[in-house]
Amino acid sequence: MTKQPIRQLLVLGLLLAWPAGSPADELKPTSPIGSGYRLTWHDEFDGDRLDTGKWTYRIDTRFWSMQRAENVSVADGYLRLALKKEKQGEFDYTAGGVISRDAFQYGYYEARFRCPPGAGWHTSFWMMRHDWRKTADEPAAVQEIDVCEQDSVNRTSYSVNLHRWKPSPHVSHGYKRITTPDLAAEFHVWGYEFTPQRIDYYFDGRLVQSLDATVIPHGPQNIWLTSVAAPLGGTKSVDDSKRPAVAEFDHVRYFAKAVSPETNRP
């Protein structure tokens, strides 16, 4: 059974059980971050194409791959980033990604996804400012928050990190590697809560890292869902026996503090 009929059954069950007067689309954070948050932006990928009102494509070159819009698709309730062995200029591989058009700041962010199998791919859920002139290492970015950086050479771990880009020089805070089940076998939920004081990272509802957010300045940030071919995590080469492949995203959600929504956006 595809995801779509399953989703319809789940929605029907929610409608039958939902308290009177509550909107059925008021999705709740997966992680135990406490009350006071409301869903203000999300994509469940239920259409048949990318919602370009919410997203733009990552189109650049990074490490071993060229990122192309043609590698991004939406079907059966999933965003899929295709990872291919194909010659594009000086690159032997192509990949893809999407970047939110809206920028956010304090709140709770989460995404549910499954990473590709086979060595060679770096799949990420991360936040950094995007200025529409280029798609990576944007010079106006204040911080970069990496909720998941997963190198498929090792499918049972991923890392979190926090980067300060301004003022220079670049500084990294709080890098940590998290041990997990096989991240290509099933979908998992990654999330984090960003407040003026703390950044708390979650994996499947479990707190896995907590950082002091006051060590860096804060600024607006876009949401990135990406996968690129890369020599990271001890990767020697791309495992071509597992290609073509995809990174699959089920949803991405942003929750703002209901008590003072004006503080959540730049």
In percent, the amount of the chain with pLDDT more than 70 equals: 85
For residue 19, the model assigns a pLDDT of: 35
**Three-class DSSP category at 38:** strand
**Mean pLDDT on 72-94:** 98
- Please report which confidence band the pLDDT of residue 138 belongs to, taking 50, 70 and 90 as the band edges: low
Distance from C-alpha of 115 to C-alpha of 158, rounded to nearest angstrom: 10
**Three-class DSSP category at 195:** coil
Label residue 17 exposed, middle or buried (CB < 10 Å: 0-12, 13-18, 19+): exposed
- Length, in residues, of the chain: 266
- Give whole-number Cα distances, 27 to 53, 65, 130, in Å: 21, 36, 27
Pick 133 or 42 by higher pLDDT.
42
User: Are 74 and 47 in contact, with CB atoms under 8 Å apart?
Assistant: yes
Q: What is the mean pLDDT of the chain?
A: 88
**Mean pLDDT on 84-99:** 97
Q: Phi and psi at residue 23, in whole multiples of 5°?
A: -70, 135
User: Are 148 and 121 in contact, with CB atoms under 8 Å apart?
Assistant: no
Torsion on CA atoms 163, 203, 231, 174, rounded to nearest 10: 30
- Please report which confidence band the pLDDT of residue 13 belongs to, taking 50, 70 and 90 as the band edges: very low
For residue 9, the model assigns a pLDDT of: 38
Reply yes or no: is the peptide bond before residue 116 cis, omega within 30 of 0: no
DSSP character at residue 19 = P
**Mean pLDDT on 158-179:** 95
Q: What is the pLDDT of residues 194-236, one digit of tens each?
A: 999 999 999 999 999 999 999 999 999 999 999 999 999 999 9
- Please report which confidence band the pLDDT of residue 160 belongs to, taking 50, 70 and 90 as the band edges: very high
- Please report which confidence band the pLDDT of residue 16 belongs to, taking 50, 70 and 90 as the band edges: very low
**Mean pLDDT on 17-43:** 70
Distance from C-alpha of 256 to C-alpha of 222, rounded to nearest angstrom: 14
CA-nearest of 205, 263, 173, 208 to 30 is: 205
For residue 34, the model assigns a pLDDT of: 75
**Mean pLDDT on 144-165:** 97
**Mean pLDDT on 146-158:** 98
Taking each continuous run of H as one helix and of E as one strand, the counts in the chain are 1, 17
Distance from C-alpha of 176 to C-alpha of 158, rounded to nearest angstrom: 8
- Please report which confidence band the pLDDT of residue 136 belongs to, taking 50, 70 and 90 as the band edges: low
- Within the chain, strands assigned E span 37-43, 55-57, 61-62, 65-67, 72-75, 78-88, 91-100, 107-114, 121-128, 143-151, 157-164, 171-179, 188-194, 198-203, 206-212, 222-229, 245-257
Residue 132 has pLDDT above 70, yes or no: no
Distance from C-alpha of 98 to C-alpha of 100, rounded to nearest angstrom: 7
Q: Phi and psi at residue 19, in whole multiples of 5°?
A: -60, 150
For residue 30, the model assigns a pLDDT of: 85
DSSP character at residue 104 = B
**Mean pLDDT on 18-30:** 54
- Please report which confidence band the pLDDT of residue 24 belongs to, taking 50, 70 and 90 as the band edges: very low
